[in-house]
Amino acid sequence: MRLVIALGGNALLRRGEAMTAENQRENVRIACEQIAKVAPGNELVIAHGNGPQVGLLALQGNAYDPSNPYPLDVLGAETEGMIGYMIEQELGNLLPFEVPFATILTQVEVDCGDPAFKKPTKPIGPVYSKEDAERLAAEKGWSIAPDGDKFRRVVASPRPQRIFEIRPVKWLLEKGSVVICAGGGGIPTMYENGKLRGVEAVIDKDLCSALLAEQLNSDLLVIATDVDAAYIDWGKPTQKAIAQAHPDELERLGFAAGSMGPKVQAACEFARNTGNVAVIGSLANIEAIVQGKSGTRISTAEPGLSYR
């Protein structure tokens, strides 16, 4: 099969975990141990989130010069290289030496008229208490929003329109390479007066991964996060894990825009547009997800919805 595996940024740096290189590498190692099990006989494309990582780089840049922050497209490019390097190294230590790897800096076009620019929703960076978040918002001009019982900075998240590097990704796959691309949803860019430029935004990783998987004719899209499935009544005594769902049924349930919502939207769009299967599940269960034994499977092949 041709697999697109999208690793969540919050799975690579877990909620409340110190944002150190050591912690991130350990989480990458956990993911790669799973990915290595499904690599034999399959073509692999790995995408990843970068919300915590971009937020950390933004804070580091702010410590250097608060009046002249690095733009988010540049920080996105930096995280693509950093995370891609870790994935290449950790997965390369597990797969046969002859397996080639390539990390592709991926520019993704967005629409300058996208309504997302007027309503920031995409969380980046660490979580804060309400008091700290409000103070930082006042000091730095940030938009903030609740994230569970904490708060995070939110930025514009326009829809991905076009992946500029899709052709070299295909060429590399045809040569047997494992490709790491579209990190953090890709580097947001748009045309202005005929010239391509970066945009102060963060593209949703899951929507970009769905577009990537569709354009690559992927057999399976795996959206790996820090929970083992999509749930109804999350965090309540009545919570239940969804095992299988038709896109129409899943979308009717409603999911939080800042967490599971984009994952469900991306999975549903991929399933509808391709007729293939998307799965939402735990980063630590990737092998079982590919085997059809774990996660929430979204497909147009079966009606209705069932629970685990």
Positions marked catalytic:
9-10, 122, 205, 263
162-163 and 220-225 beta bridge pairing: unpaired
Closest to 49 measured CA to CA, from 180, 172, 219: 180
Rounded-to-integer distance, Cα 255 and Cα 268, Å: 13
- Using the structure block, give the residue that is written with the tokens 């748009």: 190
- Using the structure block, give the residue that is written with the tokens 């309540």: 236
Closest to 13 measured CA to CA, from 24, 22, 28: 24
Asked if residue 304 lies in contact with residue 249, where contact means CB atoms within 8 angstroms, the answer is yes
